[in-house]
A and B are shown apart, each in its own frame.
Chain A
Amino acid sequence: MSGSNRLAGLKARPKGTTVEEVRRVDEVGEARGFLDRTPRKKPGRKPSPRTHQLHPKVFPEVGEAIAEEAENLGITQGQLIEQMWEIYRTTR
């Protein structure tokens, strides 16, 4: 082949790109086993970023009260402790 650009005269043929045409192509492909193989996201909930554990021993009535309050607020005991810590930190 020569170095001159002989390819400049080449033209593309018109092709359909409407949603309907893509759907038809997908249907034809699927019938022949050409399926959507896009990797799926891992199922299930994402792991919590709360990874630090506390192991405080408290009187039973205090532990039960914290558990009850967290349940009433619809949050975890860890989140309640975080809120308590935030109040303590800002008011001391």
Chain B
Amino acid sequence: MPVIVMASPKGGVGKSTCAVLLASEFARMGADVTVLDCDPNKSLTRWASHGVPTGVTLKNEIGRSEIVPTIRSADGDGKIVIVDLEGVASQLVSRAISQADLVIVPMQPTALDAEIGSEALALVREEEEALGRSIRHAVVLTKTSAAVKSRVQKELEEQLRGAGIDVIEPSLVARAAFSELFAYGGDLTAMMNDPEMMTGGKVDKALINAQAFAEAVYERLK
């Protein structure tokens, strides 16, 4: 089963959010999903401490030496493996990328995110060359405006596509519900159905966005 790696040497771009949304949606489709939390900030471990959706298993405390065998063993179990990496340029990141079927590089539509995120894209291409095989990779723009597509976002998408980089549509809109997942655990469906959960945003719209994003990722794994 495929290994999906969230990579960007920049922190705060939405790697953990992407990982949670994909894990939840793929599990909802009936897959067994193993999520590897390789981020020292332990965002996914915090999310999981409040409860994980059925079908999702989380592993953490994975270092540079363990990353390849851990991915291999999880992959061997016939599960979808989603790897959430630390937001730094490290060997842990380069090794995880080498084991990916799809590398997703989340990027906010800002010049800084694009510049630092492009390091991950360049690394993927260099690893492809060194290993003599292709590693599929794509950018997803995150924390975008729900109302309008900004000029900066349009220009960035144009530049990325012009450079032959796959850009996932839809982008992930800035939604309070995405952030609140880390406070409540579980998934957006549970959040929407639980009247006890207080959210500052529109969970239904967040869910539609997450499902469309997961569908776009699924298309790239076929």
Contacts and interface: CB of A to CB of B under 8 A. Distances in A.
A and B interact: yes
A5 B29 contact: yes
Interface stretch (A7-15, A46-54, A63-71, A73-81): A7-15
B119 A13 contact: no
Contact of B89 (A28, A34, A38): A34
Contacts of B94: 25-26, 28-29, 32, 34
Interface stretch (B44-52, B95-103, B138-146): B95-103
A61 interface: no
Interface in B82-141: 88-95, 97-99, 101, 119, 122-123, 126-127, 129-131, 133
Interface string B28-43: 1111000000000000
A3 B30 contact: yes
Given A29-B94, A37-B90, A3 B222 contact: no
Contacts of A7: 1, 26, 29-31, 80, 218, 221
A88 to B, nearest CB: 48
B91 A36 contact: yes
A90 interface: no
B131 A25 contact: yes
A36 B64 CA distance: 8
B3 interface: yes
B29 A4 contact: yes
B57 interface: no
Nearest to A15: B99
Contacts of B126: 28, 31-32
A17 B65 CA distance: 12
Interface residues of A, number: 32
B29 A1 contact: yes
A32 B119 contact: yes
Contact of B1 (A10, A24, A30): A10
A1 B218 contact: yes
B31 A21 contact: no
A40 B123 CA distance: 25
A60 interface: no
A22 to B, nearest CB: 6
B173 interface: no
Nearest to B88: A37
Contacts of B201: none
A56 interface: no
Contacts of A13: 101, 133
9 contacts: A5-B30, A6-B29, A15-B99, A25-B98, A26-B91, A26-B95, A28-B127, A29-B94, A38-B65
Interface of A: 1-8, 10-13, 15-17, 21-22, 24-38
